């Protein structure tokens, strides 16, 4: 049996993220976090000096210019991911242009790194505001955060309603109106979303994933996964790896 603490640790790595030891996957994870408006997690990564490490990946013999090129790439990726997340297209590209121009006038590596941090935080704060203010009311934002924090448990609408201090009947109607899904279906969709990332970016078996995400049994997990994705978890995993092998051979 996997302990509750271990379950939480594992699931946190795979919620709406692309996470492997591979550098490319870590970069994709970062952009996904910005897209989701997860400011604290983005700040933690920035504080670890992830962008500064690009000093060792030369795109130019001039180290400052090399970092500027990396910032330009980051700006393009941030714009693309945030547009996918609901940011206005013009706003996303205008932000990109603003920070690329600011970086172009920078004279030192430290200045470029500072501008990159400012840019990433600008994007993630806007996505956080978009998610919390424009899309959902405060109780629904709180309930969604509660669901994400408890995917390792069997959740009910009653428990989630209690967590946000609302009557279950009123909460269920509010949740449905704002998200378009019932509470129970939303929970299943988030579990399946996380299961997909676990299948693609980990070696956990179907049985282990079923346990991690608190499905009643392996067969229940497989049934839910097939209903939502159209294929079994094993077929989904194999399709991904077959596709990756094909891409690598092109």
**How far, CA to CA in Å, does 95 sit from each of 13, 72, 115, 171, 200?**
29, 12, 12, 37, 32
Please say whether the beta carbons of 12 and 148 come within 8 A. no
**pLDDT tens-digit series, residues 118-135:** 999 999 999 988 876 656
Share of the chain above pLDDT 90, in %: 42
**Selection from 232, 143, 158, 153 nearest residue 196 by Cα:** 232
Please say whether the beta carbons of 32 and 17 come within 8 A. yes
Looking at the chain, list the stretches that DSSP marks H as alpha helix, in order from N- to C-terminal side.
Answer: 4-14, 23-35, 39-47, 63-84, 89-104, 109-129, 138-149, 157-163, 168-179, 183-201, 206-212, 218-229, 233-249
pTM for the full predicted model:
0.55
- 172 falls in which pLDDT band (50, 70, 90)? very high
Report d(CA 120, CA 112) in Å as an integer: 12
**pLDDT tens-digit series, residues 27-86:** 777 888 888 888 888 888 888 876 666 555 667 778 889 889 889 999 998 998 888 777
**Selection from 87, 53, 56, 51 nearest residue 72 by Cα:** 51
Q: Which are the contacts of 179, defined by CB distance < 8 A and separation ≥ 6?
A: 136, 140, 144, 186
**Residue 86: strand, helix, or coil:** coil
Q: Quick one: pLDDT at residue 242?
A: 58
């Amino acid at each position: 049996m996997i302990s509750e603490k271990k379950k939480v640790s594992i699931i946190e790595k795979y919620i709406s993220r692309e996470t492997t030891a591979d550098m490319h996957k870590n970069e994709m994870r970062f952009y996904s976090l910005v897209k989701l408006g997860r400011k604290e997690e983005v700040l933690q990564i920035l504080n670890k000096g992830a962008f500064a490490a690009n000093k060792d990946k030369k795109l130019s013999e001039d180290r400052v210019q090399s970092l500027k090129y990396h910032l330009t790439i980051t700006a393009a990726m941030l714009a693309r991911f945030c547009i996918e997340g609901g940011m206005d297209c013009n706003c996303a590209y205008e932000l990109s242009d603003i920070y690329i121009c600011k970086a172009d006038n920078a004279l030192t590596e430290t200045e470029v790194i500072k501008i990159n941090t400012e840019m990433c935080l600008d994007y993630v704060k806007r996505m956080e505001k978009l998610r919390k203010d424009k899309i959902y009311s405060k109780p629904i934002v709180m309930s969604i955060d509660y669901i994400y924090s408890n995917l390792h448990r069997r959740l009910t609408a009653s428990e989630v309603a209690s967590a946000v201090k609302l009557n279950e009947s009123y909460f269920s109607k509010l949740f449905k109106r704002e998200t378009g899904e019932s509470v129970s279906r939303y929970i299943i969709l988030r579990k399946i979303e996380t299961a997909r990332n676990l299948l693609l970016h980990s070696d956990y078996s179907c049985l282990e994933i079923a346990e991690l995400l608190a499905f009643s049994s392996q067969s229940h997990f497989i049934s839910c996964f097939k209903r939502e994705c159209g294929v079994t978890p094993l077929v989904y995993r194999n399709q991904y790896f077959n596709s990756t092998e094909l891409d690598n051979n092109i």
